[in-house]
Amino acid sequence: MADTPREIEALIEILARLPGLGPRSARRAVLHLLRRRGALMAPLAQAMQIVAETARDCLTCGNIATSDTCAICASPQRATGEICVVEDVADLWAMERAGVFRGRYHVLGGTLSALDAVGPEDLGIPRLLSRVRDEGIKEVILALNATVEGQTTAHYIADALRGTGAAVTTLAQGVPIGGELDYLDDGTISAALRSRRSF
Amino acid sequence: MEWRDQGVLLSMRPHGESSAIIEVLTPSRGRHAGVVRGGGGRRFAPILQPGAQLSLVWRARLEDQLGTFAVEPLRARAPLVLGDRAALAGLSSVCALLAFALPERAPHVAMYDLSIALLDLIVAGGDWQAAYLRWELTLLEDMGFGLDLSRCAVTGERENLAYVSPRSGRAVSVAGAGEWAPRLLPLPACLLGQGPASLADLVQGLAVTGYFLEHRLAPALGDRPLPEARRRLVDILSRGVNPSEVSPSGDGQ
């Protein structure tokens, strides 16, 4: 808008690039921040400054950390001999939210994709193999998405891990908690039926 | 503009924050792309997987626009093969090769029917590898690079065909090959449709079709590399072959 200061307009433009926000919602967010300058805007700016200066990828697993080694890789309690391979940091956070897995992670940063020219080296798969050998890993859990690209990557990793001595497992596929069969797609139902177990 | 049809999903890539651009193969419109609004979201994730059979409504203001698709799932295929590395690679290779080879918006009814039959066979867990090899031969033929394996290019005989000429794509008999044999591609019996195919024969057959896909079809399509999915399929099938079963191959010169 013509009468909005250039600096504020620049802030709106940057916020509008964030996922889930457009120009209108970015404008509302900036207005909200401006009204709560002391309580919200200044701490937000400070927090962003700190994260921008310190955030980096963990050199071991690819998780986002504020030092070269993330808290999970640095923790001796997490050295259980298990590595959970996930596609993205968001997946790692989801696994941590569940609070069930107590081992370490390996973040691929994507999946093998011919369309996007993503190969094994781009995903840190060689680094995963050396971790399995060096850290004496007994089990590698492939927690990749149940998509064609996710499972193609899972099969590739399983093939690459052959001969390392580590057991390779994958997450189950089927009915989600709270899921109603009537609302499930036929692929999920057939996967669930194939993975049925004694009850 | 509007049309309704059904088709098989070949590829999907995110478009913007929540939409997706999909490529489908339909019987009447051939390979066709379009935007699916909300296609990048969670609701569409299980639907928009390669190999899925979809009901499609395409709309655009003008015929040559990208247009938008309204999609409804008819049949999912990928979820049925996610746990089977060879079948998953087979399904991916079929979709990737169709997206690679077929021209946009040109109907290929026979290729569509054959591809649907092959995808269904892969999902059903049948003996799909030999059918896949025949499908690649048909794809080459449909694209104008068919192999002539009916008689020897040198002697004209119909028996003892053992090689394929990498230049002409025609069969050559043992007698006709003579001292040129090392330069020719070995012709496995399964390419001639003679008897059940061993895995080694199939891999050798895929080497023949792969040669013509790479050296004839790909250059005609702007020299793009063959889809990675096909290489992965050949790798997986080759791993199951005992090296002693494979006869020495020619260098294809």
B95: left (phi over 0), alpha (psi -120 to 50) or beta: alpha
Rounded Cα gap, residues A188 and A195, in angstroms:
10
A155 near B CB under 8 A: yes
Residue that has been written with the tokens 């057959």 in this structure: B205
**Is the CATH number of domain A64-170 3.40.50.970?**
no
Splitting chain B (253 residues) into consecutive groups of 10 residues, what average pLDDT does each group show?
96 91 96 95 87 96 94 91 93 96 95 97 91 96 93 89 93 90 91 81 94 95 91 91 52 37
Domain locations in chain A? 6-54, 64-170
Give every CB contact of residue A140 below 8 A, 6+ residues apart in sequence: A82, A83, A84, A85, A128, A132, A157, A161, A166, A167, A168, A169
Please count the CA atoms within 13 angstroms of the CA of B148 that sit on its side-chain side: 13
Residue of higher predicted confidence among B192 and A115: B192
B contacts of A90 (beta carbons < 8 Å):
none
For the cut 80, the answer to whether the pLDDT of residue A168 exceeds it is yes
Residue A69 in contact with partner chain B when CB distance is under 8 A: no
String of b and e for B215-245 (b: at least 16 CB within 10 Å)? ebbbeeeeeeebbbbbebbbebbbeebeeee
User: What integer pLDDT is reported at residue B99 of this predicted model?
Assistant: 96
| pLDDT score of A2 more than 70 | no
- Interface test with chain A among B72, B82, B84, B88, by most A beta carbons within 10 Å: B82
**List of domains in chain B:** 2-76 (2.40.50.140), 81-245 (1.20.1440.120)
Instruction: Please state the pTM of the whole predicted model.
Output: 0.85
Minimum-distance CB partner of B46 among A19, A114, A188? A188
Among all residues of chain A, which has the CA nearest to that of B231? A114
ipTM: 0.82
Determine, for residues A152 and B96 on separate chains, whether the beta-carbon distance falls below 8 Å. no
Same fold, A6-54 and A64-170: no
Residue B57's beta-bridge partner residues? B4, B70
Q: Which of A163, A93, A169 is nearest to A129 (CA)?
A: A163
CA distance B131 to B74: 24
CATH architecture assignment, domain A6-54 = Orthogonal Bundle (1.10)
